[in-house]
């Protein structure tokens, strides 16, 4: 098939491109490199099945495709808060552009939404039926509400035009090719531990997250894309294992054999206290659940960052 991956030079997007090319599809990765990197897809540049296009999803899109994965958006708080208006418009204009392209091609289009649509949840685990507790004018709103608006556009486009949509709600994902400076907790802890710097925790470190290894996430996205036509979503994709930030820091220190200390800073505004997906729909409709345990995924990610830091040095 001919497949477009917007945000294809990003962390998750580049791994998705790898899998699609391995399956023999003709893949176009579109990315404006604002947070993505050519390094993430450099190993594919001479592959006849792969094409990289430097462009912004906020601009009109063209081409003939059989599948479209929309992963274009800054995804870490420092990145999406750096230019919140740009983030919001990437979510909204980008969603509308990929939907219009999918309608013209009569092809399936998948929106990479996020667990952040649940905000700071009042229930756990979070099922897809939970409508969330989001601050619409806080510093995270550009991303939280932007993704909620993208979901709204997807379902309205489907109802109005019959567009063949799929919506995935991605929970915290980690693995090789994360940007060491993107501010996500896994990359922060690993880089700090490898460099012997204090691990920065916010609040008292009791807030929890559920971490999904990138290979599992890519498998979930692909299964959702190829699922039955009536499976629109939203469907949670993540890992049900729930860990506090203190527990994560402890595992990273142990696996890196680092003697780094920990440092506690004030909790950022609207930082969720808890995050854990209900995977019932993913299991029943997609036959999917994660297989990589946090400890194993952390080892692979630590090896990646250790090699990257050594090369940089």
Low-confidence ranges of the chain (pLDDT < 50): none
pLDDT computed for residue 267 by the predictor:
86
Q: Which fold has domain 2-312?
A: Rossmann fold (3.40.50)
Residues 94-122: b if buried by 16+ CB within 10 A, e if exposed: bbbbbbbbbbebebbbbbbbbbbbbbbbe
pLDDT computed for residue 271 by the predictor:
86
pLDDT computed for residue 313 by the predictor:
83
pLDDT computed for residue 2 by the predictor:
98
Tell me, yes or no, if 174 is annotated catalytic: no
Cβ(170)–Cβ(114) below 8 Å: yes
Structural element, H or E, at residue 237: strand 235-237
Q: Where are the domains of the chain?
A: 2-312
- Give the pLDDT confidence of 242-285 residue by residue, as tens digits: 999 999 999 999 999 999 999 999 988 888 899 999 999 999 99
Catalytic residue among 143, 174, 202, 304: 143
Q: Which residues contact 31 (CB under 8 A, 6 or more apart)?
A: 6, 7, 8, 9, 10, 13, 52, 53, 54, 55, 72
With CA atoms as reference, report the closest residue to 92 among 126, 167, 142. Answer: 142
Cβ(269)–Cβ(231) below 8 Å: no
With CA atoms as reference, report the closest residue to 212 among 188, 235, 243, 181. Answer: 243
**Residue 300 DSSP symbol:** H
CA 305 to CA 230: how far, in whole Å?
41
């Amino acid at each position: 098939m001919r497949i477009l991956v917007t945000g294809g030079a990003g962390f998750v997007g580049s791994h998705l491109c790898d899998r699609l090319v391995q399956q023999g599809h003709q893949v176009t990765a579109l990315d404006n490199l604002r947070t993505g990197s050519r390094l993430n897809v450099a190993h594919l540049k001479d592959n006849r099945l792969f094409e990289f296009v430097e462009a912004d999803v906020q601009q009109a899109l063209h081409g003939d495709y059989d599948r479209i994965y929309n992963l274009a958006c800054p995804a870490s708080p420092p990145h999406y808060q750096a230019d919140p208006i740009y983030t919001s418009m990437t979510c909204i204009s980008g969603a509308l552009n990929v939907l219009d392209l999918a309608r013209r091609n009569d092809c399936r289009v998948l929106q990479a939404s996020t667990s952040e649509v649940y905000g700071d949840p009042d229930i756990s685990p979070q099922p897809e039926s939970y409508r969330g507790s989001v601050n619409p004018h806080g510093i995270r709103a550009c991303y939280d509400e932007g993704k909620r608006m993208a979901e709204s556009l997807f379902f309205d486009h489907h109802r109005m035009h019959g567009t063949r949509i799929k919506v995935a709600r991605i929970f915290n994902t980690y693995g090789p090719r994360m940007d060491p400076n993107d501010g996500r907790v896994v990359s922060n802890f690993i880089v700090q531990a490898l460099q012997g710097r204090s691990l920065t925790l916010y609040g008292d470190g009791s807030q929890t997250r559920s971490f999904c290894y990138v290979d599992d996430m890519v498998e979930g996205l692909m299964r959702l894309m190829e699922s039955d036509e009536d499976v629109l979503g939203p469907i949670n994709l993540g890992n049900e294992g729930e860990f506090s930030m203190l527990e994560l820091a402890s595992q990273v220190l142990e696996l890196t054999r680092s003697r780094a200390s920990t440092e506690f800073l004030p909790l950022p505004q609207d930082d969720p206290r808890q995050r854990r997906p209900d995977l019932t729909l993913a299991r029943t409709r997609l036959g999917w659940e994660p297989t990589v345990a946090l400890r194993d995924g952390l080892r692979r990610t630590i090896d990646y960052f250790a090699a990257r830091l050594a090369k940089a040095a």
